[in-house]
Homo-oligomer: A and B are copies of this chain.
Amino acid sequence: MDTRTEIIRLGDSLIREKGYNAFSFADISKHLNIKNASVHYHFPTKTTLGLAIVQEHRNRLERLKTKTESKDPVEKLNAFLNIYAAAKSENKICIVGSLATDFYTVEPEMQHELKKLADSILKWVIEILKEGKNKHVFRFRTSERTKALMIITNMLAAVQLTRLTNKQDFKEIKETILHDLTQ
């Protein structure tokens, strides 16, 4: 893996572990055994790095959308839920949740990019729910948008809150989401 990619990977990991304002270029340079200035060579500012990290998440999401296109709604939803399960397995939280907390401390460009990511997630879940409803595999009462928001908020906060309770709670929440939908 090239250095630029490693910086993005590490920066992402730090944001989701400790938060945007708790990680520094020094954290990255130490961990990669390069100097502070070398990190700045790849990313002139913290904002450019932050933007690359958020964009990488959006790219990964689009790739996952495409990859699961032909799968059934349950598999699609599982693919979505597993993003959070993977985060939880490392005790990391969701990038959206982490940066939503720090939202008013980041530059407008970052805020904008983050909104685009949140939008992309929301649209995907809405699509999955619509398809599941049409195919009679999902059953729910509210609008697709609201139901999607309920599911996303469950997962987004589950990775956060279960840092304070226990990991088993996360599993229960995840399973309940699917169980409730499929009745």
Contacts and interface: CB of A to CB of B under 8 A. Distances in A.
A150 B173 contact: yes
Contact of A101 (B98, B122, B142, B173): B98
A156 to B, nearest CB: 4
Chain copies in the assembled complex: 2
A96 B164 contact: yes
Interface string A64-90: 000000000000000000000000000
A173 B115 CA distance: 19
A150 B152 CA distance: 11
A62 interface: no
Interface residues of A, number: 46
Given A18-B105, A22-B102, A176-B142, A118 B161 contact: yes
Query: A149, A158, A165, A169: which has the most chain B beta carbons within 10 Å?
Result: A149
A126 B115 CA distance: 34
Contacts of A30: none
A114 interface: yes
A161 B100 contact: yes
B118 A164 contact: yes
Given A17-B104, A22-B105, A93-B100, A152 B156 contact: no
Interface of A: 17-22, 93, 96-98, 100-105, 114-115, 118-119, 122, 141-143, 145-146, 149-150, 152-158, 160-161, 163-165, 169, 172-173, 176, 179-180
22 contacts: A19-B101, A19-B102, A22-B102, A96-B160, A97-B101, A97-B160, A100-B164, A101-B160, A103-B164, A118-B161, A118-B165, A119-B164, A142-B172, A142-B176, A142-B180, A143-B172, A145-B172, A146-B172, A149-B165, A149-B169, A150-B154, A153-B158
